[in-house]
Amino acid sequence: MRVRANGNRTETRSRLQRRRPDLWKPYLSISLITSLLLSFNAVSCGEKEEKKISPLGITEEEGEETAYDLDQIQEAGELIAVTLSGPDTYYEYKGKGFGLQFELAEHFAVSIGAKLRMEAVRDTAELFQRLKKGEADLIALEIPENHMTDMELQFSGVRSCLSDSTAAAKTGWVVRKDAPFLAEALDGWYKPETRSFLQKREQLRLSPGGSVKRRVRAPFQNRAKGIISPYDTHFIRHSQAIGWDWRLMAAQCYQESGFDPEAVSWAGARGLMQIMPETAVHLGLPADQMHQPEKNISAAARYLRELERKFSDIPGRAERINFILAAYNGGTGHVRDAMALARKHGKNPHLWNDVAPFILRLSQPQYYNDPVVRYGYLRGEETYGYVTSIRERWQRYRAAVHGGTTGAAPAPSRKNSRGGFKSKVLSAEELEAKSKQNTP
């Protein structure tokens, strides 16, 4: 089963469990006793017709469920929506959900006082299946009208219509007909202006100038004296605790925030090391301390240590660093997806040069919809560029400033004709060709 947002889901709860979680066990006990008594009376009276009892002791009549509608959603405090993974629908970045359909569904969930759980599935057939089984409350994807022929379902909430009036041009979200109050709430909530506002906000986030709000400082505070930044003492102290080269942490910090402790990204990441609010909670970093340099760097060091443990199967620190950096930017799940794709295509999933092409390809539908992929779409070019840029800057810092604890050195960057460093983001095909050249 595919996942997610806002929590990992390992099993599907029935609508009855969701509706009355606090009464579930007592309900079973009472039902079992009642059913056994009824069955005993029926047999003793010589009745030919017997009630069928399930292994839980619930008769057919008792097992019938009432519709799971708006009241039950609000009581459970959770709205479950299903959609397809993609840049315009739903994807995860640093553990947080994004995409227009996600934004719309979250906006509606807030309006009814519930939290959103968004789950990406393989195809439209699974969307309808999950909704009809009661495993989801709505399909948060604009389904064409001519694709929806099931009489138990109906359009509700988000709607759109292209220039013509054909069935193929009309699209909308879908709910069950036995959830009329949910449908009514969706129709009352949705307005075209809501979609326009959220769409513009999403576009602004993804625009070249809207990625991180920061005041970028020089990559060296004083090259002659070997001072990289005002925060070198923090990098030295906290990198030692995890066995990292402090210059590597400094290179990562410059990539994240440009050494601006007040930096805020489009995704909501904050501070020098751009820690997400949810990650901060996990690391025990209070919200009011996220912009404090040492607190932010200390939390980032703890997170890097966690990631190193998660990638302990990668042999060698030098190789492992690539995977850790990629996971810090794109998420552990996406990196594991790229590794799974590399394995499927006959590559070594523990070598970055073999995995990097698939990091890039996770932005293409034929790859992020592959059966071995669990976490869907990834802004792969950003994650690949992130790793490449940090390693190149680390090489420069190592050449200019002595001292560090990480024994592995990054591959040297290529110098251009002016003596500077030339950085080029290779395509997936170029990376694959380069990998073949390096293979004996």
Q: Which residue has the higher pLDDT, 359 or 160?
A: 359
Condensed to tens digits (0 to 9), the pLDDT of residues 229-278 reads: 999 999 999 999 999 999 999 999 999 999 999 999 877 889 999 999 98
Q: What is the pLDDT of residue 417?
A: 34
Q: What angle do CA 135, 158, 147 make, to 5 degrees?
A: 65
Give 347's pLDDT tier (boundaries 50, 70, 90): very high
Rounded distance, CA 172 to CA 160, Å? 6
Domain boundaries defined on the chain: 70-206, 217-402+423-438
259 touches 281 (CB < 8 A): no
- For the ranges 26-35, 162-171, 331-340, which has the lowest average pLDDT? 26-35
Please determine, for residue 427, whether its predicted confidence score (pLDDT) is greater than 70.
Answer: no
117: nearest Cα among 105, 107, 127: 105
Highest-pLDDT range among 89-93, 226-230, 417-421: 226-230
Question: Which secondary-structure segment (H or E) carries 213?
Answer: strand 212-213
> Strand 264-265 vs strand 96-98: parallel, antiparallel, or unpaired?
unpaired
* Burial of 66 from C-beta contacts in 10 A (0-12 / 13-18 / 19+): exposed
Q: What one-letter code names the amino acid at 391?
A: R
Question: Which secondary-structure segment (H or E) carries 78?
Answer: strand 78-84
Give 97's pLDDT tier (boundaries 50, 70, 90): confident
Point out the catalytic residue in the list 256, 308, 392, 432. Answer: 256
Fold annotation for 70-206: D-Maltodextrin-Binding Protein; domain 2 (3.40.190)
Q: Which two tokens stand for residue 102?
A: 């996600």
Q: What is the pLDDT of residue 368?
A: 93
Condensed to tens digits (0 to 9), the pLDDT of residues 109-142 reads: 999 999 999 999 988 899 999 999 999 999 999 9
Condensed to tens digits (0 to 9), the pLDDT of residues 312-334 reads: 999 999 999 999 999 999 999 99
Please determine, for residue 434, whether its predicted confidence score (pLDDT) is greater than 70.
Answer: no
Percentage, residues of the chain above pLDDT 70: 71
Spell out the residues 6+ positions from residue 52 whose beta carbon is closer than 8 angstroms to its own.
59, 60
Catalytic-residue membership of 256: yes
Condensed to tens digits (0 to 9), the pLDDT of residues 268-282 reads: 889 999 999 989 999
0.95 surpassed by pTM:
no
Highest-pLDDT range among 40-44, 51-55, 209-213, 405-409: 209-213
In a 13 Å sphere around the CA of 387, the CA atoms on its Cβ side amount to 29
Condensed to tens digits (0 to 9), the pLDDT of residues 286-297 reads: 999 999 999 999
Please determine, for residue 408, whether its predicted confidence score (pLDDT) is greater than 60.
Answer: no
Rounded distance, CA 186 to CA 180, Å? 10
* 217-402+423-438: CATH number: 1.10.530.10
**For all residues of the chain together, what is the average pLDDT?**
79
Q: What is the pLDDT of residue 439?
A: 47
Please determine, for residue 5, whether its predicted confidence score (pLDDT) is greater than 70.
Answer: no
Percentage, residues of the chain above pLDDT 90: 55
Please determine, for residue 85, whether its predicted confidence score (pLDDT) is greater than 70.
Answer: yes
Please determine, for residue 415, whether its predicted confidence score (pLDDT) is greater than 80.
Answer: no
Q: Which two tokens stand for residue 154?
A: 């109906």
Average pLDDT over residues 82-107: 88
